[in-house]
């Protein structure tokens, strides 16, 4: 996250937004176990208690007492208009699920919000699919965001996603599929099996279905059936992560953003323990076979 001055913001935006296709090729592992009990963590909210409220095109994740207002705009085009405006927001961008997601992080301050909206109204093209907000819920602010971004006046260019980098690729099942969790476990096991080699693995979330990329060809020899000793620690790591229900604002915001982009309910993430309970070693081995078929028949 960076803070931009007025005289430099339009230059940065004008140059970097068309370069998003190059700069946002890679991503973190989706929905995999993560450390959610950091000693230096920010304020947290329980997945079981947060509420998503809808006002017009705005989906607002209500987080009482949050000290930031995070707003993500999901677009079907890349803004191409250059503007010089005063904006003190922390600004980031990414391609996800075939969409462009622009995120601004502001203090919980109406004047700053209005300033950001004035800029966005002039800059964004009229291809807004949805608006995701997290922070203390305010009906008037939600209505303000919905009105301000209802008729944006900027220009845009088509999103053109290049091929994934890497010498080998594995395409994930759809986000809402029950196979997705089994696939993630299979990928975790593949990563373990490759740990003794100089092979790097990364995720590419730019398209509707995520892709795992490798910087080397992937031998079919590493895609043999998973045994119980391999499955047990991976499965338990996923389960333990799902049991930790408290999340930071940025984590919860990312969940809602991902739910909107992939058209799944927010409860898809809330109900992860229930989904995990239905995953077996048989499912993971089926995903190993799914990966093996992709290697044998490259896409």
Of the pLDDT bands very low, low, confident and very high (cuts 50, 70, 90), residue 271 is very high
Question: Do 94 and 121 belong to one domain?
Answer: yes
The domain boundary, picked from 129, 158, 187, lies at 158
Q: What is the mean pLDDT of residues 160-181?
A: 90
Report pLDDT for 23: 35
* 64-77 pLDDT per residue, tens: 999 999 999 999 99
Question: Do 33 and 181 belong to one domain?
Answer: no
Of the pLDDT bands very low, low, confident and very high (cuts 50, 70, 90), residue 167 is confident
Of the pLDDT bands very low, low, confident and very high (cuts 50, 70, 90), residue 21 is very low
Question: Is 46 within a domain?
Answer: yes
Question: Do 145 and 186 belong to one domain?
Answer: no
Of the pLDDT bands very low, low, confident and very high (cuts 50, 70, 90), residue 18 is very low
d(CA 93, CA 24): 8
Q: Please say whether the beta carbons of 79 and 154 come within 8 A.
A: yes
Question: Do 172 and 286 belong to one domain?
Answer: yes
* 181-239 pLDDT per residue, tens: 999 999 999 999 998 888 889 999 999 999 999 998 888 889 999 999 999 999 999 99
Tokens representing residue 34 in the block: 């993560």
Question: Do 150 and 222 belong to one domain?
Answer: no
266: left (phi over 0), alpha (psi -120 to 50) or beta: alpha
Of the pLDDT bands very low, low, confident and very high (cuts 50, 70, 90), residue 7 is very low
Question: Do 148 and 178 belong to one domain?
Answer: no
CA distances from 177 to 31, 114, 182, 209, 261 (A): 13, 39, 10, 11, 15
d(CA 75, CA 36): 30
Report pLDDT for 28: 47
Question: Do 34 and 7 belong to one domain?
Answer: yes
Question: Is 241 within a domain?
Answer: yes
The domain boundary, picked from 99, 130, 158, lies at 158
Of the pLDDT bands very low, low, confident and very high (cuts 50, 70, 90), residue 127 is confident
pLDDT at 2 over 70: no
Report pLDDT for 88: 55
Question: Is 163 within a domain?
Answer: no
Q: Tell me, what CATH number does 148's domain have?
A: 3.30.830
Our count of domains for the chain comes to: 2
* 99-115 pLDDT per residue, tens: 999 999 999 999 999 99
Question: Do 144 and 205 belong to one domain?
Answer: no
**Strands (E) located in 125-245:** 128-135, 156-158, 168-171, 201-204, 211-214
Question: Do 93 and 194 belong to one domain?
Answer: no
Report pLDDT for 81: 82
Report pLDDT for 65: 94
Question: Is 245 within a domain?
Answer: yes
Domain that holds residue 151: 2-158
Q: What is the mean pLDDT of residues 283-292?
A: 97
Question: Is 16 within a domain?
Answer: yes
Question: Do 271 and 200 belong to one domain?
Answer: yes
pTM: predicted TM-score of the whole model, two decimal places: 0.83
Q: What is the mean pLDDT of residues 119-139?
A: 94
The domain boundary, picked from 93, 125, 158, lies at 158
Question: Is 41 within a domain?
Answer: yes
Report pLDDT for 176: 86
Question: Do 121 and 179 belong to one domain?
Answer: no
Q: Tell me, what CATH number does 249's domain have?
A: 3.30.830.10
Question: Do 76 and 212 belong to one domain?
Answer: no
Q: Which of 46-50, 76-80, 295-299 shows the lowest per-residue confidence on average (mean pLDDT)?
A: 295-299
pLDDT at 14 over 50: no
Q: Which of 12-21, 23-32, 109-118 has the highest mean pLDDT?
A: 109-118
pLDDT averaged over every residue in the chain = 85
Of the pLDDT bands very low, low, confident and very high (cuts 50, 70, 90), residue 30 is low
Tokens representing residue 52 in the block: 């998503």
């Amino acid at each position: 996250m960076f803070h931009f001055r007025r005289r430099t913001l339009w230059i940065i935006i004008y140059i970097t937004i068309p370069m998003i296709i190059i700069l946002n090729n890679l991503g973190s592992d989706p929905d995999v176990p993560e450390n959610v009990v950091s000693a230096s963590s920010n304020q947290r909210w329980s997945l079981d208690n947060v509420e998503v409220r809808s006002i017009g095109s705005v989906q607002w994740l209500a987080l009482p007492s949050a000290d930031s207002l995070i707003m993500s705009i999901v677009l079907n085009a890349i803004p191409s208009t250059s503007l010089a405006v005063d904006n003190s927001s922390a600004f980031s961008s990414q391609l996800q699920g075939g969409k462009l997601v622009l995120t601004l992080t502001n203090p919980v301050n109406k004047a700053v919000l209005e300033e950001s909206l004035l800029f966005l109204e002039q800059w964004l093209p009229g291809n807004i699919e949805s608006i995701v907000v997290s922070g203390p819920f305010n009906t008037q602010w939600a209505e303000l965001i919905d009105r301000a971004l209802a008729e944006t006046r900027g220009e845009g260019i088509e999103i053109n996603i290049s091929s994934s980098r890497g010498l080998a690729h594995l395409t994930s099942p759809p986000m809402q599929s029950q196979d997705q969790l089994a696939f993630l476990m299979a990928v975790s096991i593949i990563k373990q099996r490759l740990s003794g080699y100089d092979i790097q693995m990364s995720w590419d979330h730019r398209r509707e279905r995520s892709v795992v990329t490798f910087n080397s060809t992937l031998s079919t020899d590493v895609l043999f059936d998973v045994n119980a000793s391999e499955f047990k620690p991976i499965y338990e790591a996923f389960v333990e992560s799902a049991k930790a229900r408290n999340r930071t604002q940025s984590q919860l915001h990312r969940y809602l953003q991902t739910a909107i982009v992939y058209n799944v309910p927010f409860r898809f993430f809330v109900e992860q323990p229930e989904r995990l309970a239905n995953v077996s070693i048989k499912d993971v081995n089926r995903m190993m076979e799914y990966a093996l078929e992709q290697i044998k028949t490259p896409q």
